[in-house]
Amino acid sequence: MNNSTGILMVEAIELIKRYDNIYLVSHVQPDGDNIGSTLALAKAIEKFKGGIKVIKVDDIPSDYQFLPGIDMIKNYDINEPIDLLISLDSSDLNRLGLGKEFARKAKRVINIDHHITNDNFGDINIVSPSSAATGEIVYEFIKKMAVDIDKDIATCLYTAISTDTGSFIYSNTTYKTHLIVAELLKVGIDVETININLYQNRSMARTKLFIDSMNSLETYLEGKVGVIAVTQEMLKAYDAKMEDTEGLISFVRGIDSIEVACLLKEIDKNEVKVSLRSKKRIDVSRICNKFNGGGHIRAAGCTINERLPVTKDIILEEILMNFR
């Protein structure tokens, strides 16, 4: 976080004080960071002045149903008055799904995010690519608001930071990450239960999908690039959902020779969600940016509107070019 972040936070808090109809929103295909940081900020604003609304833009994966305040995420009518929209963990307006319409209607937009590809779509942009998770920025924001971080808020922030750092092992993890998490543990959260909910709660359907998709692994460039795919047919076979692909791509990156791991998720016949992860060398955010996606240096994504085999060729070509 740079020096101006504190000033931007004060300005954002002034807007929160001033406006009545305040909405929070985050990106589609939700993850632990966006749900955790959204609920933490929602709970903090609730304590600060009350009346906060959290817009549901996508289904919540079962992994995060245990989070305190999860029922705050609801459908809201776009025709109601909207003063202030706070977007979390989203690099651009398109990633907000129907939240984009709320942003268009709002008098002011606050953009809180940590993606290097963020396009500063807000009136106030609190964007910190050096933060491991949006949850880290929200932690500082809540401190600035002078709201007490209780167990519920700390549980949500811990989830946000733990999931976006792969349990504190990814290269985005810094000493600040550990200092913040130490403060969260001081509050007395039940880390054992949180971690069981997040990491030791895999369904049998997800396990079978995992085994099958690993069988689809193809490697290129002497094992430096690994590609796996999950099709709608595979989901049907195991009665699994696309959210059950969580963890697959990290497993591929974990292979010794791999530098870039690629997961292709067949959303529809002509729509494939691409996830990329790298280990040490390749900037995958640059690759995804070429396809209107984005993310971070070591984790990024995009959507390509082609059939699965075509998408594979397109993305592979781009990945392999980056090794030259």
> Binding residues for Mn ion, per CB under 5 A?
31, 33-34, 89, 134, 164
Among 195, 219, 232, 303, binds ligand AMP (CB under 6 A): 303
Are the CB atoms for 242 and 249 separated by under 8 Å? Answer: no
Token reading at 310: 């075509």
Quick check: 296 binds ligand AMP (CB under 6 A)? Answer: yes
Query: Of Mn ion, ligand AMP, none, which one does residue 206 interact with (CB within 5 to 8 Å by kind)?
Result: none
The answer to the question of residue 127 lying near ligand AMP (CB under 6 A) is no
Please identify, using beta-carbon distances, which residue of 58 and 212 lies nearer to Mn ion: 58
Beta strands in the chain (DSSP E): 22-26, 52-55, 73-74, 84-88, 108-113, 124-127, 218-220, 225-230, 260-268, 271-278, 294-295, 299-304
Contact call for residue 95 and ligand AMP (CB under 6 A):
yes
If the CB atoms of residues 13 and 28 are measured against Mn ion, the closer one turns out to be: 28
- Binds ligand AMP by CB under 6 A, chosen from 97, 122, 166, 301: 301
Q: Applying CB under 6 A, does 300 fall inside the site for ligand AMP?
A: yes
Q: Classify residue 161 by burial, with Cβ atoms within 10 Å: 0-12, 13-18, 19+.
A: buried
Residues 6+ positions from 306 with CB-CB distance below 8 Å:
270, 272, 314
Q: How far is the CB of 55 from ligand AMP (least distance, A)?
A: 17
- The residue whose Cβ lies closest to Mn ion is 33
Smallest distance from the beta carbon of 299 to Mn ion, in angstroms?
9
294 contacts ligand AMP (rule: CB under 6 A): yes
Amino acid at 92: D
- For the record, the structure tokens of 66 come out as 């245990």
88, 112 contact by CB (below 8 A): yes
Q: Smallest distance, Å, CB 163 to Mn ion? A: 8
Nearer to Mn ion, 93 or 225 (CB): 93
- Residue 5 touches ligand AMP, criterion: CB under 6 A: no
- Two structure tokens written together for 276: 């990329």
Q: Judged by CB, which is closer to Mn ion: 36, or 69?
A: 36
Give the one residue of 135, 166, 226, 295 binding ligand AMP; rule: CB under 6 A: 295
Q: Which is nearer to Mn ion, 164 or 238 (CB)?
A: 164
Which residues between 156 and 215 bind ligand AMP (CB under 6 A)?
Answer: none
Task: Give the count of beta carbons closer than 10 Å to the beta carbon of residue 59.
Answer: 12
Least distance CB 323 / ligand AMP (angstroms): 20
CA torsion sign, 34 to 146 to 119 to 172? negative
Comparing CB distances to ligand AMP, the nearer of 13 and 98 is: 98
Length reported for the chain: 324
Burial of 45: CB neighbours in 10 Å, binned 0-12, 13-18, 19+: buried
Residues found near ligand AMP in the complex (CB under 6 A): 27, 29, 91, 95, 275, 293-296, 299-303
